[in-house]
Amino acid sequence: GAVVSQHPSRVICKSGTSVKIECRSLDFQATTMFWYRQFPKQSLMLMATSNEGSKATYEQGVEKDKFLINHASLTLSTLTVTSAHPEDSSFYICSARTGGAGETQYFGPGTRLLVL
Amino acid sequence: GQNIDQPTEMTATEGAIVQINCTYQTSGFNGLFWYQQHAGEAPTFLSYNVLDGLEEKGRFSSFLSRSKGYSYLLLKELQMKDSASYLCAVMDSNYQLIWGAGTKLIIKP
């Protein structure tokens, strides 16, 4: 199956710093990548949809200036949490779609962010 | 509004069979997905149904009835490693995935 990697797997940072998370599709080209956030014991919450070469589409309530998304190539998307605060501590998961809109999303292993 | 319903938690015995139900009300339908998520890990893809009927894949099967807005995931010969949350997700008319809250499955020896 399609493989998606994420880096780092875990990060601890001080409040006010910025954190960058990378999402890569290893064996396929992903025209669309998705960024999710998951709080403990809750379901996935879509933050934004990222299409290669264009601006990301953010879900309602997600601050685009705080969560910067760059999808510069068909195999790489990055999420930067700017000026992180403790309430941003969460499990961030990316997924990538192998083909068109109806295709399956494959998930990266996730990045656990802890902001002190 | 759009809504996906699945039980919060289920318990089953090792070696047995368990059926996890999912009902949905969405604006349009472009397929239903089942994902498995172990605690602290990202979801992994299990199955995809877009037509009515049963899709079998090893110990796992998934069923869909579009007219009833209903699906189930059937797990046979349960193993301890099957203890996880099972997420039902429906792709709506805009090709957005609408997620259920997940069903936590506890397997007892």
**Each residue's pLDDT expressed in tens, for chain A with a length of 116 residues:** 678 999 999 999 999 999 999 999 998 888 889 999 988 878 889 999 998 888 899 999 999 999 999 988 889 999 999 999 999 999 999 999 877 666 788 899 899 999 99
Q: Where are the beta strands (DSSP E) in A14-89?
A: 19-25, 32-38, 45-51, 57-58, 67-73, 76-81
From A42, A104, A109, residue closest to B42, measured CB to CB: A109
State the Cα–Cα distance between residues A113 and A84, nearest whole angstrom. Answer: 10
pLDDT confidence of residue A44 = 86
Say yes or no for a CB contact (<8 Å) between B45 and A105. Answer: yes
Average pLDDT for chain B: 94
**Interchain pair B101, A1: CB under 8 A:** no
Closest-CA residue in chain B for A102? Answer: B95
Q: What's the whole-number mean pLDDT along residues B86-101? A: 88
What pairing do the DSSP bridges indicate for beta strands B103-108 and A57-58?
A: unpaired
